[in-house]
Amino acid sequence: MSAGVPAGVNGDQAVKGAEVRTVGVEEELLLVDAESGEPQALATAVLALAERRAGGESAFEAELHHQQLEFGTEPCDTMAGLADGILRSRDEAARIAADAGAAVAALATSPLPVSPSIGEGERHRWLAERFGLTAQEQLTCGCHVHVSVESDEEGVAVLDRMRPWLPVLLALSGNSPFWQGVDSSYSSYRSRVWGRWPSAGPTEVFGSADGYHERIRALVGTGVLRDEGMIYFDARLSYRYPTVEIRVADVCLDPADTVLLATLARGLVETAAREWRSGKAADPVAASVLRMAAWQAGRSGMDGQLLHPLTMRPEPAEDVARALLAHVSDALEDSGDLGAAEKALWAVGNRGTGARIQRDLLAGSGSLRTAVAECVARTRG
């Protein structure tokens, strides 16, 4: 996410027509051969081209593996502005990748078999040596949503109160059904692979900003993690920006789903902040139970059952998604996003997430290569 995120909002601003929280996204894209669909280790060449065209630092960054590329949007206060930023960034990534001999695909894992190659940077080498096969196999692409908060205290209050709803965002973004050429039986197999990192997943209630920072110091102090940048919670305080960073989602195949994800994420942050200001306590549901909810979301996505955040009992995914929309409806109405979110949620239910689309493409063509080629086209919207 680009620097310069504006400060958060105060309690008087969460009303219709007033300033709303800024939101930005980071998306990780897979570099593939345009014809074969196989991942290509061309990140270094793509980044060099991007820097030359930008005349210096570009919006694109290296990731852990040479077969992927990351970009961050500027912070926006409207979803129309965010949508424009996502489309422009994906389009630019596609054009630069083409000049380097590759294509970009918004796929959270490679459908085709791949032997990932880790980047040359000192940090990447450390990760490879420290975590072995976990790092080597970690060719996964996620979507991180940043929503502005006015203080660490507000941010931690938000983290504590939105924990039960994060698995629903994972279900809505599921876009990684295939792993090493086979169907994983999951909607988001990326979430299972990502969960191998020692600091990944849901958290217990922190209670305060001091409690949060004490936990971070304790985790880094173990020596297992290199630094604070390796705090891979499903949602965390960003260590670079004054934002809550929601990290639970797959990168979405359709850019419209990324916008829906960001809309719901901003709604969750604002709703949680209002609950905190009104004195409502955080739900004390245990992290171990939230881990069950995340597993279920990764397994079935929107095509089965999810654990309802208020009861932690299985219900149809469509009903749970509607419950999320109802939970954040006041915040979305105040920001002017409720109608668009309702339509976007209906669209996902009608055509399916990226996982269902990938499976449908394979069923129709019989070829994962053909499916990847179609996903390349869909990446640009």
Residue 56: its pLDDT value, please?
A: 80
Distance (Å, whole) CA 221 – CA 279: 33
Q: What is the CATH number of the domain that holds 170?
A: 3.30.590.20
Q: Return the DSSP state at 163.
A: G
Residue 9: its pLDDT value, please?
A: 36
Residue 367: phi, psi to the nearest 5? -135, 125
Residue 321: its pLDDT value, please?
A: 98
Q: Taking residues 5-12, what's their average pLDDT? A: 35
- Whether 82 is covered by a domain: the verdict is yes
CB contact burial 263-297 (16+ within 10 A = b; e otherwise)? bbbbbbbbbbbbbbeeeeebbebeeeebeebbbbb
CB contact burial 300-309 (16+ within 10 A = b; e otherwise)? bbbbebbbbb
What are 226-285's pLDDT values in tens digits?
999 999 999 999 999 999 999 999 999 999 999 999 999 999 999 999 999 999 999 999
Q: How wide is the angle at C-alpha 378 spanned by C-alphas 178 and 182, nearest 5°?
A: 10
Residue 10: its pLDDT value, please?
A: 36
Taking alpha carbons only, the member of 372, 375, 376 closest to residue 112 is 372
Residue 18: its pLDDT value, please?
A: 52
Q: How many domains does the chain have?
A: 1
Tokens of 245: 């960073």
Residue 15: its pLDDT value, please?
A: 39
The whole-chain average pLDDT of the chain stands at: 94
Q: Which domain holds residue 238?
A: 23-376
Q: Taking residues 25-40, what's their average pLDDT? A: 96
pLDDT above 70 covers what percent of the chain? 95
Confidence of residue 19 (pLDDT cuts 50, 70, 90): confident
Q: How far is CA 43 from the centre of its chain?
A: 20
- Whether 208 is covered by a domain: the verdict is yes
Q: Taking residues 156-171, what's their average pLDDT? A: 98
- Whether 244 is covered by a domain: the verdict is yes
Tokens of 296: 């279920």
Residue 16: its pLDDT value, please?
A: 42
Ranges assigned E (strand) in the chain: 23-32, 60-62, 68-72, 103-105, 142-148, 178-179, 182-183, 235-237, 243-250, 305-307, 314-316
To 10 degrees, what angle do helices 209-221 and 152-162 make? 80
Distance (Å, whole) CA 38 – CA 105: 11
Model-level pTM? Answer: 0.94
- Whether 16 is covered by a domain: the verdict is no
What are 81-112's pLDDT values in tens digits?
999 999 999 999 999 999 999 999 999 999 99
pLDDT above 90 covers what percent of the chain? 92
Tokens of 381: 């919207």
- Whether 228 is covered by a domain: the verdict is yes
Tell me if 11 sits within 8 A of 21, measured CB to CB.
no
Distance (Å, whole) CA 176 – CA 89: 22
- Whether 17 is covered by a domain: the verdict is no
Residue 54: its pLDDT value, please?
A: 87
Question: Token pair 């979305």 is at which residue?
Answer: 332
Question: Token pair 């924990």 is at which residue?
Answer: 163
- Assess whether pLDDT exceeds 50 at residue 331: yes
Residue 58: its pLDDT value, please?
A: 85
Alpha-helix residue ranges (DSSP H) falling in 163-246: 166-173, 189-194, 209-221
What are 176-195's pLDDT values in tens digits?
999 999 999 999 999 999 99
Confidence of residue 381 (pLDDT cuts 50, 70, 90): confident
- Whether 210 is covered by a domain: the verdict is yes
Taking alpha carbons only, the member of 113, 250, 134, 105 closest to residue 178 is 113
- Whether 14 is covered by a domain: the verdict is no
Q: Work out the burial of residue 208: count CB atoms within 10 Å of its CB; fewer than 13 is exposed, 13-18 middle, 19 or more buried.
A: middle
Residue 3: its pLDDT value, please?
A: 35
